[in-house]
Amino acid sequence: MASILRTGKLLRYFAGFTRNVVVNSVRDCESNNLLQSAPCMCGQFQNGFASNAAATKAELSLDRQIKRLDQDARRMGRISRRDLEEVLDEIRTHRTATSSQSLLVIRCCGNLVPEELPEVRTALVQEIWKTLNALNVPMDISHYNALLRVYLENEHQFTPTDFLAEIEAKGIEPNRVTYQRLIARYCQQGDIEGATRILEFMRGKALPVNENVFNSLILGHSQANDLESAKGVLGVMKQAGLEPSADTYTTLLCAFARHGDIDALNATLAECEPKEIILLDKDLLDIVYTLTVNGHGDHVDGVLARLRISPGFNQDAVNIILRLVNKGHEDVALKLLRLMPRGTRVNGEAVDVGAFYIRQLVKANRPVENILTICRTLQAEGLNPKALTIATEAGLTHGAMNNALPLLQEMKNVGLPIRQHYFWPLFCSVKPNQVLDVVRRMQQEFAVNPNSETIRDYVIPNLKEKNWDKVVTVLRDAGVPNSTAVTSAVYAALTTHQMAEAAKIMEKNRAYYVPIIFRQPLILALSNTNDYSSFIRCLRQIHEGMQLRAPKEATEEPEVGSDVEAATPTTERAAFDVVGSIVHEAAIYFRRERVIMLQKVLTGLVKQGLSISSAKATALSELLGAEMTPKISELLGKLSSGELEPIPLPSSGKRTLDSLSIDELERFIKNVEAKGESANNIKRQLLSACFRSMNLEKTNEVIERLEQDKFQIPVGVYAQLVDLYTHHKRSSDALAQYNKLRKTDANFKLDNLKTVRLVEVLLQEEREAEAVQLLKENQKESLYNEGEGSFNYVSTVWRILNAIAESGNVEKLKRIFDELVGGNYVAPTNVILGPLIKVHVMKDDLTNAINTFEQICQQYKATPWKNELACRLIQKEDAANLQRLTDLSTSIHGEVNSLYDLVFSFVECGRVRQARKILETPGLRTRPQRISSACDRYKNEGMLQPLEGLIEATKDLGHIDRNKIYYTLLLSYDKADEAEKALGLWTKMQEEAVAPTDAFLLKLAELLQRKNIDVPFVVPETAQPKVKRNKTTVKAEEQPKAEQPKVDPPKSAQPAKTTSATTSFRRAIQANDADAAIACRERIISGEKIGILDTSRLIELLVRANRLTEATKYVDELLAEKQHPQPKIFKYFLNKIAASGDLATLERIGKQLNDEQKRLVSFDNRYCHAYIVAGKAEQYLKQLSNDIEAAKTPEDAAKLSEKFPRGGAVGILEKHPELVAQYEALAEKYAALNQLGPMNVLWMHLISNGQEVASKQIWDKYLSSAPRLMFQRVLQTAREQQDEKLASTVISQLRDSKISEGAIGNAYSCLLDIQTTKGNTDKALEVLGNAVKDVSLENINRTALLRLKQAVEEKSQNFPYTVPEKRTKAEDSSSSSSSSSDDDVSPKKPESVPQEPEKAQA
């Protein structure tokens, strides 16, 4: 009671100030909402932005992020730490934040982040505070008050007097809220004396108080273990003229809960209802939390029973559950979880709950036993059947090995599959010295052997080990198979372009290197290193790996009745083709340096004695075309001759057995046996070498000799002998050998490939019965497993069936087909089923063909030869069967696809009218991708007539984009050298009001020029960014024009002649008459001058007329007077000068402009462009290199970076790929001085040209932390080429960067557009789902969203997002650097002078 009396003596002070009391409750100013009085917390600074036309993109981006924080706070009452950190990163990146923005960010670091521990939240707010101070963001007392509130919510230990001293040292005056919160801090500590001192101080300053002070005093007395005084504060409040509110009672109830005074708690709760004190669920949950964390969790049930479970309860409950878990009270949290209402799915099932709870248990590092118990409980009660999976995923994601591995063990115990990729997050999060421990535990505890993908992509990169030999050794020691360790190390070395190291590993460790995996990194490594010697060494080892793979199988003793394959001749040929295939891929990749690359590589292959197939040699010849040289031709001839023998490998003095020739092996066997040693292993290698050589006589000779020597020949060898006989078309010998094997072992079966090869030969010899018998005897229990070489196998089966079909023997075809399918030799695909239809079509028996088609549709759900059948039926005008065919197709492929197929069939048959009728069907959905695919097929097959028909069929159908059809037909005419028809196509497009694309016009112009035909249209120079147009409507072929200048009325003092000449001059300009304008200008009396605006318009007229010399004269006149033309017209003039390669003029003009003027007209870009046109790009790069080398200070480097011609650099890289290496060296010099613009341009060039690995290296090394990037050109390329991979690559790199959400949103918008255009709405929705995890929906292009929404709704599906309202231009700005004036390197036409003469105004 003593303390209540101490506060009671202030009663008169309180009573005296009742007229000044601020009676707003804590619900108005102390709740978790960031700003209750405004519709949105961002409102207080949005107006400032709106009124400031110069608001930066960074501010707008930060504004959007904070707005998202506010929306989350309002909707859920919480925000994530990640969102806060992103805002902090944004502030650091742009080094800017307004006072209002910083205030709101500070406020977010308290109870609004319930998933984090209080100390983590405090550390975060201190980091934010430190950053804001470092950036000199202006802060006032409101910022300190916000910091105080966060400290209070986080129960951070600080001294109020020190805090007050810091404020006063800054010259900031504390206000009422400051003192209230300092009182709250004293009361948190139970220091009533300290609180009283602050109250006295407030009294002295005549500061009003509100309910918060009394609530703090209740807390203070409670902390001081004086509950009587705490309760007495209610009486003091009433005496002061304040009525206790629900918040006051909640504070008091929490005080009772803290001390476990359940009787007082229940009594006070009972008092509330008669007094009309309504406690919300949120208040009761606070009481539950206080009871629990103070050790009275067994009493929460009574409070929980009072919950109303009103709307919004779930979000409040989630926040308390998260805080309870952080405090280690998951049992009470589970009680709350059970009370949360569950939603229902469409089918009536309850929605799973508790995922957030499970994840928080893992994140808070709760004991694994508790987590497992709770997961079992949630599963048993049906609250969340996937609880264990969610917990495991969370453990893996957080990289908590101590939690993740036991959870995985539990998954294994309950029978859930453990997959490779579950361990990938662990590899990325554990320390390098723990990586191998995870590898061992994968194998020992979970029986999961890490595959090559795991080792090469996750284990090796996270080992952080640079010594490749050590990498291989430690992986072996960890239980990784030697072959996996070696191949993964080689792959990792290649992807980091350490090709010489990769070659060393390969030479030390013989292994099978899967060509399809190693091909791309090997070629990219060559591109980046130009290390041809190492490339050849690697290629040799890949070839040797192919040789190594099969003989290993042949040297093993097979079980009786098995068919073990050794290295067959086919394998040998495959090895040759591997080399040829990699060289062919490299030739395609090195399109600019193809001849140089091939000459070096082919020479190296010849020296190594490697060979390539004739087919690959032919393909390389065709690829080279006119570039073929006698030297390359000679090298290709040697390589494909089959006469080269691989030279012995130089890696060691020893040669492996499989590298020895037959003669060498025979001598080796004699030497070994002469010493009395066993030569069995060498004899097996001898057999393998015989089969590889495809020499039947030698093979038989060796087998006979070995049989005489009593050598135990494996059964698999005799099976290979059957195949060798088949290869040489000796079917009788093959069957005899096969029957001998069957007599030895009645259960023996040939493998599928050998069987069908022999069947093919037997059927060619009309030995059908024996072929059928062979198929019956060797049929398998399960379907052929398609693996490596399956195409060869399936094509063999198809050849068998196709040959019978072409002979027209239906019964024979049916018998063989039934044996093949029934014996599990092959799956009945469209390809395999095709001959069943073809056999009838060959006989023109369409009735049986359609009957067979129906049987196949019903039995196999496939539609072989559908298009061919449709065309035949159309030609025969068999409407009934055509309808039947379409119905069958519809049942399998759906109506829309079947109707499009029918359209294409009609078009191919020349029945355009019928095709058009189908396309005009009301409600028929547009499938642009189907039309595009058909166009590409017709072009590739050289079918002009269907393309012409498709143009007619789609005429005037507005829902179909016909540009693709026109362009494809143009390409086909170009291929056929039909220039006149191509020109007619352009005329036809005009008739049909179809605007040709730039690509169409450029291609047509190229064709016409090649044929020496006049080009009747303006050829687009390059694809340029769109120029803003004024509201003035212009004709399609006119150049845009600016606002017409207002002509000042003539002054009376001026002579009539001057007025007349000036007026005439302007009329001449309006009439586009340059000569008349010049004449009028000359007549103007001395002392008078034409204004800059009028002279600028004259310059524009002259430039448009290509009278550059005269235009230059007037530009020089203006510059001599320290003036220059209008910026738009000046740019236009400079563009034309640059396009003509006139370096001298540009250099002279440049000397007369200051840096700011140059910047306004992008002078440096135009100067660079002139060098390109003049053929002096290399010289220009050297000049730039000298300039940056001469830079002595960071300021010099920054100045040079500002002048760097980014757009011009793009032009150099595109037109002169041979200068990429020189440009990269230049960019590195800039990067060394922290100027990343040139490197950004190189990154754009590489990623746009598919050099993903090289671009990723630049990204990781230089750009990943850059605050501002140019990438719009890349997105433009992705859109034009419909390249979803390119867009995805950009997104993957931008996602982890420091650039704004708006920029990332642009990239996602691009990918959305591509998928929507292709008709892939499901993929587009998946992209959008991923996008909203990274950016807010407002940052996705609204047009892209509307386009996708329309496409989804056309499929009668629901679009699950609300498209944001249209924003203003200011809001739409993003912090990504797009194509600015730096990209402007091609002449543009300014918006000034009209094309057509207008009536002169009097």
The DSSP bridge partners found for residue 344 are 350
Q: How far apart are CA 703 and CA 725, in angstroms?
A: 14
pLDDT greater than 80 at residue 959: no
The angle at the Cα of 93, spanning 88 to 96, to the nearest 5 degrees, equals 80
Nearest Cα residue to 439 out of 468, 410, 467, 481: 481
DSSP result, 1254-1281: HHHHHIIIIITT-S--B-HHHHHHHHHH
Identity of the amino acid at 166: E
The angle at the Cα of 955, spanning 952 to 959, to the nearest 5 degrees, equals 135
Q: Which residues contact 1206 (CB under 8 A, 6 or more apart)?
A: 1165, 1237, 1238, 1240, 1241, 1270, 1382, 1383
Residue for token digits 């949360």? Answer: 340
User: What is the per-residue pLDDT for 1237?
Assistant: 82
Q: How confident is the model at residue 755 (pLDDT cuts 50, 70, 90)?
A: confident
Q: How far apart are CA 645 and CA 984, in angstroms?
A: 58
Q: Residue 457 carries which DSSP code?
A: I
pLDDT greater than 80 at residue 957: no
pLDDT greater than 90 at residue 350: no
Q: Identify the weakest region by mean pLDDT among 526-530, 760-764, 935-939, 955-959.
A: 955-959
Nearest Cα residue to 198 out of 186, 208, 188: 186
Q: Which residues contact 975 (CB under 8 A, 6 or more apart)?
A: 939, 942
Q: How far is CA 381 from CA 338, 350, 354, 355, 444, in A?
A: 10, 12, 12, 14, 34
Q: How far apart are CA 815 and CA 823, in angstroms?
A: 12
User: What is the per-residue pLDDT for 122?
Assistant: 92
Q: Which residues contact 954 (CB under 8 A, 6 or more apart)?
A: 916, 919, 931, 960, 962, 965
pLDDT greater than 80 at residue 550: no
Nearest Cα residue to 1226 out of 1190, 1178, 1272, 1188: 1188
User: What is the per-residue pLDDT for 1371?
Assistant: 42
Instruction: State mean pLDDT over 332-343.
Output: 88
3-state secondary structure of 1080: helix
User: What is the per-residue pLDDT for 791?
Assistant: 55
Q: How far is CA 1049 from CA 1059, 1060, 1063, 1068, in A?
A: 9, 12, 10, 18
pLDDT greater than 80 at residue 34: no
User: What is the per-residue pLDDT for 74?
Assistant: 66
Q: How far is CA 1153 from CA 75, 1090, 1149, 1209, 1388, in A?
A: 56, 22, 7, 22, 21
Instruction: State mean pLDDT over 606-614.
Output: 85
Q: How far apart are CA 937 and CA 929, in angstroms?
A: 12
Instruction: State mean pLDDT over 833-859.
Output: 88
Q: How far apart are CA 666 and CA 683, in angstroms?
A: 8
Q: Is there a contact between 1349 and 1359 (Cβ–Cβ < 8 Å)?
A: yes
Q: For 1-33, write each residue's pLDDT tens digit.
A: 334 334 443 443 344 443 344 433 333 333 333
Q: Identify the weakest region by mean pLDDT among 51-65, 254-268, 842-856, 1263-1277.
A: 51-65
Q: Identify the weakest region by mean pLDDT among 250-264, 391-405, 482-496, 1310-1324.
A: 391-405
Instruction: State mean pLDDT over 817-834.
Output: 85
pLDDT greater than 80 at residue 671: no
Q: How far apart are CA 392 and CA 1272, in angstroms?
A: 40
What does residue 350 show for φ and ψ, rounded to 5 degrees? -75, 145
Q: Which residues contact 1151 (CB under 8 A, 6 or more apart)?
A: none
Q: How confident is the model at residue 46 (pLDDT cuts 50, 70, 90)?
A: very low
Tokens of 752: 């599928």
Nearest Cα residue to 1164 out of 1115, 1212, 1205, 1223: 1205
Q: Is there a contact between 70 and 104 (Cβ–Cβ < 8 Å)?
A: yes
Tokens of 1321: 């709405």
Identity of the amino acid at 868: E
Instruction: State mean pLDDT over 249-275.
Output: 87
Q: How far apart are CA 987 and CA 1004, in angstroms?
A: 12
Q: For 169-212, write each residue's pLDDT tens digit.
A: 888 888 888 888 888 888 888 888 888 888 888 888 787 778 88
Q: Is there a contact between 1327 and 1312 (Cβ–Cβ < 8 Å)?
A: yes
Q: Identify the weakest region by mean pLDDT among 354-358, 372-376, 677-681, 1082-1086.
A: 1082-1086
User: What is the per-residue pLDDT for 150?
Assistant: 92
Q: How far apart are CA 1066 and CA 1058, in angstroms?
A: 12
What does residue 1270 show for φ and ψ, rounded to 5 degrees? -100, 125
Q: For 974-1027, write each residue's pLDDT tens digit.
A: 888 888 888 888 877 776 767 778 788 888 988 888 888 888 776 775 433 333
Q: For 1045-1070, write each residue's pLDDT tens digit.
A: 333 433 333 333 334 567 777 777 87
DSSP result, 142-176: HHHHHHHHHHHHTT----HHHHHHHHHHTT----H
User: What is the per-residue pLDDT for 254?
Assistant: 92
pLDDT greater than 80 at residue 885: yes
Which of 199-208, 368-377, 716-725, 1113-1122 reaches the highest mean pLDDT?
368-377
Instruction: State mean pLDDT over 1358-1380.
Output: 55
User: What is the per-residue pLDDT for 419?
Assistant: 86
Identity of the amino acid at 75: R
Q: How far apart are CA 1272 and CA 1206, in angstroms?
A: 13
User: What is the per-residue pLDDT for 993?
Assistant: 64
The angle at the Cα of 17, spanning 13 to 19, to the nearest 5 degrees, equals 160
Q: How far apart are CA 716 and CA 566, in angstroms?
A: 8
Q: What is the 3-state secondary structure (H, E, C) of 1297-1320?
A: CCCCHHHHHHHHHHHHHHHHHCCC
Q: What is the largest CA-CA distance in the chain?
A: 129
Nearest Cα residue to 967 out of 1280, 717, 1224, 1256: 1280
Q: Is there a contact between 1086 and 1058 (Cβ–Cβ < 8 Å)?
A: no
Q: Which value, to the nearest 10 degrees, does the dihedral of the CA atoms of residues 1231, 1236, 1240, 1246 take?
A: 10
Mean pLDDT score of the chain:
78
User: What is the per-residue pLDDT for 1135?
Assistant: 86
User: What is the per-residue pLDDT for 228?
Assistant: 85
In sign, the C-alpha dihedral spanning 1015, 1017, 1018, 1019 is: negative
Q: How many Cα atoms within 13 Å fall on the side-chain side of residue 1219? A: 20
Instruction: State mean pLDDT over 57-84.
Output: 74
Nearest Cα residue to 23 out of 182, 212, 203, 204: 212
Q: Residue 862 carries which DSSP code?
A: -
The residue ranking higher by pLDDT, 106 or 1057, is 106
User: What is the per-residue pLDDT for 568?
Assistant: 34
Q: For 1217-1266, write each residue's pLDDT tens digit.
A: 788 888 888 888 888 787 888 888 888 888 888 787 888 888 777 877 77
Q: How far apart are CA 1101 and CA 1132, in angstroms?
A: 11
Tokens of 773: 């018998």
Q: Is there a contact between 383 and 353 (Cβ–Cβ < 8 Å)?
A: yes
What does residue 509 show for φ and ψ, rounded to 5 degrees? -130, 105
Cα end-to-end distance, the chain, whole Å: 99
User: What is the per-residue pLDDT for 52?
Assistant: 37
Nearest Cα residue to 166 out of 188, 151, 187: 151
The DSSP bridge partners found for residue 350 are 344
pLDDT greater than 60 at residue 1040: no
Instruction: State mean pLDDT over 1024-1037.
Output: 35
Q: Identify the weakest region by mean pLDDT among 461-475, 659-673, 1251-1265.
A: 659-673
Tokens of 122: 């405090």
Q: Is there a contact between 264 and 255 (Cβ–Cβ < 8 Å)?
A: no
pLDDT greater than 70 at residue 1313: yes
Instruction: State mean pLDDT over 655-683.
Output: 71
pLDDT greater than 60 at residue 787: no
Q: How far apart are CA 446 and CA 468, in angstroms?
A: 28
pTM score, whole prediction: 0.43
Q: How confident is the model at residue 1367 (pLDDT cuts 50, 70, 90)?
A: low
Q: Is there a contact between 358 and 387 (Cβ–Cβ < 8 Å)?
A: yes
Q: Identify the weakest region by mean pLDDT among 265-279, 361-375, 1318-1332, 1372-1386.
A: 1372-1386
The residue ranking higher by pLDDT, 1183 or 1038, is 1183
Phi-psi region of 417 (alpha: psi -120 to 50; beta: other; left: phi over 0): beta
Tokens of 170: 């800054």
DSSP result, 422-453: GGHHHHHHS-GGGHHHHHHHHHHHH-----HH
Q: How far apart are CA 544 and CA 551, in angstroms?
A: 11
